[in-house]
């Protein structure tokens, strides 16, 4: 039965709850925390009246405290209160009708997020997986955006841990949702779908699944080129990278015509980008010049190989004007390659030597030794 003391405590509980919520909404965290701690004591005393009802209110109070500590960047305390709320919710699971499983999943996700920003990836992965296991038992359509968010976070942290299967599974889960969000009437989520395909393809590529990487890059490219027609600026770098990786894949598979076509398409995009921002994209143009020179050299097409070699030397000379430290040794090494592979005059080695001797790094000894060997090899026999 209710008595006067119980009625007063219920009124106090409601008053404290409303006041704490008000201070929280205004960002007055110290006062809000003090009120929530007082509220927690009252709610715990009222548990004897209705364990499920007041248990759910205790969970809300603990989550509010966790939210405050999160805002204050006190992640350890935020995790502590989220876990305390989870402990109570799991004890209430026997009464499915009054247990909000989505809140339990949200708490697991919140803990995962906090561990993620602290770079504790294994812990984050564990709590994300716990959240997914709950969401999988709920309505997919209702919670698919929450599920999508978890898959996107999992793809990042699993990739950071070099977990191929887990990263791939996260990308596949995200792709499944993005495909359900794409419609014929709207381009919404097309960009996200394309970028997820691109990331999945790059994952396959890094792990030497080149056939699968090629298939997925082509799927990504189809969407990217469509989006590029509507928004020419936003997708050039990703399209350039996609063509570049396809060029690498095709040449590895000895499909040289397709490989060269992909390389040249990539080069066109990167040159356009480099014309606008040489510092950010010049290195990508150099990378393709180097690959094309190597390709033509392997085919014994010396004129084309040397053409791209000279293009690379000139580009490095330009880039050293902006970042000498980053590009000077690459320029010197490329000049040395000209003597080694293309029979260029050894006088150019003096230029490389001057560049190299201005650096005091471990790499220069090998380069200087290389120069001496080339000079010795090129000495004419009397």
Calculate the CA 118 to chain-centre distance. 16
Give whole-number Cα distances, 166 to 62, 126, 159, in Å: 32, 12, 8
pLDDT for res 363: 67
pLDDT for res 92: 81
Task: Please count the CA atoms within 13 angstroms of the CA of 113 that sit on its side-chain side.
Answer: 17
The Cα 130–Cα 107 span in angstroms is: 10
The Cα 250–Cα 270 span in angstroms is: 19
At 40-73, the pLDDT tens digits run 999 999 988 888 889 999 999 999 999 999 999 9
The Cα 85–Cα 70 span in angstroms is: 15
pLDDT for res 99: 60
pLDDT higher than 50, residue 148: yes
Handedness of CA 352, 353, 358, 362 (dihedral sign): positive
pLDDT for res 376: 78
pLDDT higher than 80, residue 2: no
pLDDT for res 361: 66
Give the mean model confidence (pLDDT) for residues 256-273: 96
pLDDT for res 52: 85
Give pTM, 2 decimals. 0.87
Please classify residue 307 by burial: count the beta carbons closer than 10 Å to its beta carbon, then call 0-12 exposed, 13-18 middle and 19+ buried: middle
pLDDT higher than 70, residue 164: yes
At 321-335, the pLDDT tens digits run 999 889 999 999 999
Taking a C-beta distance cutoff of 8 angstroms, is the pair 76, 33 a contact?
no
Q: Looking at per-residue confidence, does 361 or 242 come out higher? A: 242
pLDDT higher than 90, residue 364: no
The Cα 160–Cα 22 span in angstroms is: 40
pLDDT higher than 90, residue 346: no
pLDDT for res 180: 92
pLDDT higher than 50, residue 382: no
pLDDT higher than 60, residue 338: yes
Give the mean model confidence (pLDDT) for residues 174-194: 92
pLDDT higher than 60, residue 95: no
pLDDT for res 289: 97
Give the mean model confidence (pLDDT) for residues 159-188: 94
pLDDT higher than 70, residue 96: no
């Amino acid at each position: 039965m209710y008595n006067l003391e119980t009625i007063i405590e219920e009124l106090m509980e409601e008053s404290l709850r409303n006041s704490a919520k008000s201070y929280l909404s205004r960002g007055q965290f110290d006062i809000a925390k003090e009120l929530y701690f007082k509220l927690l004591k009252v709610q715990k005393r009222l548990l004897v009246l209705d364990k499920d009802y007041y248990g759910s209110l205790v969970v809300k109070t603990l989550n509010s405290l966790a939210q405050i500590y999160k805002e204050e960047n006190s992640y350890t305390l935020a995790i502590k209160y989220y876990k305390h709320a989870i402990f109570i919710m799991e004890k209430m699971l026997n009464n499915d009708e009054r247990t909000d499983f989505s809140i339990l999943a949200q708490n697991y996700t919140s803990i995962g997020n906090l561990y993620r920003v602290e770079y504790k990836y294994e812990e984050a992965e564990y709590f994300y997986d716990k959240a997914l296991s709950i969401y999988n038992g709920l309505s997919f359509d209702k919670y698919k955006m929450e599920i999508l968010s978890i898959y996107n976070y999992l793809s990042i942290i699993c990739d950071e841990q070099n977990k191929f299967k887990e990263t791939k599974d996260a990308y596949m889960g995200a792709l499944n949702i993005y495909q359900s969000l794409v419609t014929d009437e709207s381009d919404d989520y097309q960009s996200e779908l394309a970028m997820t395909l691109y990331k999945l393809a790059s994952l396959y590529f890094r792990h030497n699944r080149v056939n699968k990487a090629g298939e997925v890059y082509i799927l990504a490219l189809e969407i990217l080129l469509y989006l590029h027609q509507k928004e020419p600026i936003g997708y050039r770098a990703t399209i350039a990278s996609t063509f570049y990786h396809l060029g690498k894949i095709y040449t590895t598979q000895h499909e040289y015509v397709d490989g060269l076509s992909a390389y040249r398409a990539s080069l066109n995009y990167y040159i356009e980008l480099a014309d606008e921002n040489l510092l950010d994209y010049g290195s990508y143009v150099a990378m393709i010049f180097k690959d094309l020179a190597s390709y033509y050299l392997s085919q014994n097409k010396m004129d084309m190989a040397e053409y791209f070699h000279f293009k690379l030397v000139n580009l490095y000379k330009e880039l050293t004007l902006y970042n000498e430290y980053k590009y000077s040794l690459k320029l010197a090494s490329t000049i040395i390659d000209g003597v080694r592979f293309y029979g260029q005059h050894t006088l150019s080695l003096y230029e490389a030597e001057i560049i190299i001797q201005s650096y005091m790094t471990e790499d220069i000894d090998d380069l200087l030794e290389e120069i001496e060997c080339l000079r010795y090899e090129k000495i004419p026999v009397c």
